[in-house]
Amino acid sequence: MSPEHDAPVIPDVTRRQFLAAAGGAALAAALVSLPRLSQAAAPHVLPPLPYAEDALAPVISANTLGFHYGKHHKAYVDNLNKLITGTEYADLPLEKIVAEVAGKPDKIAIFNNAAQAWNHTFLWRSLRPPGGGAPPAALQAKIEAAFGSLEACKKELTAAATTQFGSGWAWLVRDGDRLKVVKTGNADLPLTATMKPLLTIDVWEHAYYLDYQNRRADYVAAVLDKLVNWEFALENLG
């Protein structure tokens, strides 16, 4: 059997699926399932990094993290504040803005900046120095139930992260009572009635190109082995 046949098929969660799931009560459920990361309302602020800019080196250099957090993440937050000033979204928490504008073509700029602001705050907490290693026992049990082993789970996360075409994200999620790996493109996130994000890996080129150039697989392997924050995933599991 060729390696291609061995590769797990990773679901690609799109805003179309979000819309299909997000009517009425389902939307309320989706809002409940998205971990709350932000303060109550605008102006939205760039949350402090949970560690120093050089704390993830050598896997992610201070140079990369400085640009990623201080330029890219900051720009999403700043742009969001400009876009929502004087609108119906001005006084909503970030998670609610994301859910309200998802799938609305005339609100795509607000969605992209709100979702990217949320995704990056979630990303920083998905990493820690030192991370990787063995998950806490309660999470390990859920991982083994869903994937068979930690290695199989990491293999699926790697496949999601390396097969995402262009910019996007790989995610470990709880879907109902079961863990699953999914990937999303651009600013999209697994915001559906049943999925709750547990952790994420950013595969936009700005996340790794200064350190790894085109070697996305090396970046993903190093993040999974040395930085991934299984404790944060367990917190979100509850």
DSSP letters spanning 146-202: HHSSHHHHHHHHHHHHHHS-SSEEEEEEEETTEEEEEEEETT----SSSEEEEEEEE
DSSP class of residue 78 equals H
Find the binder of Fe ion among 18, 111, 122, 204 (CB under 5 A): 204
The CB-side HSE value for 194 (13 A sphere, CA atoms) comes to 11
CA distance 189 to 14: 8
Lay out the site mask for Fe ion across 162-201 (x = CB under 5 A, - = otherwise): ----------------------------------------
Residue among 147 and 232 whose Cβ is closer to Fe ion: 232
Residue among 89 and 204 whose Cβ is closer to Fe ion: 204
Q: Which of 23-31, 49-57, 179-187, 207-215 is the region at the interface with Fe ion (rule: CB under 5 A)?
A: 207-215
Residue among 200 and 234 whose Cβ is closer to Fe ion: 200
CA distance 41 to 91: 5
Find the binder of Fe ion among 173, 202, 230, 232 (CB under 5 A): 202
Q: Which of 32-40, 154-162, 204-212, 218-226 is the region at the interface with Fe ion (rule: CB under 5 A)?
A: 204-212
Size of the site for Fe ion (CB under 5 A): 3
CA distance 164 to 157: 11
Residue among 175 and 202 whose Cβ is closer to Fe ion: 202
CA-closest candidate to residue 81, choices 110, 51, 112:
110
CA distance 131 to 5: 31
Residue among 18 and 204 whose Cβ is closer to Fe ion: 204
Q: How far is the CB of 80 from Fe ion (least distance, A)?
A: 15
Do the beta carbons of residue 153 and residue 135 sit within 8 Å? no
Q: Which of 22-30, 42-50, 105-113, 202-210 is the region at the interface with Fe ion (rule: CB under 5 A)?
A: 202-210
Q: How far is the CB of 169 from Fe ion (least distance, A)?
A: 9
Do the beta carbons of residue 48 and residue 211 sit within 8 Å? no
Residue among 193 and 207 whose Cβ is closer to Fe ion: 207
CA distance 200 to 229: 10
Q: How far is the CB of 110 from Fe ion (least distance, A)?
A: 18
Cβ-proximal residue to Fe ion, closest one? 202
Residue among 147 and 219 whose Cβ is closer to Fe ion: 219
Q: How far is the CB of 167 from Fe ion (least distance, A)?
A: 8
Token pair 């399932």: residue: 33
Q: Which residues bind Fe ion (CB under 5 A)?
A: 202, 204, 207
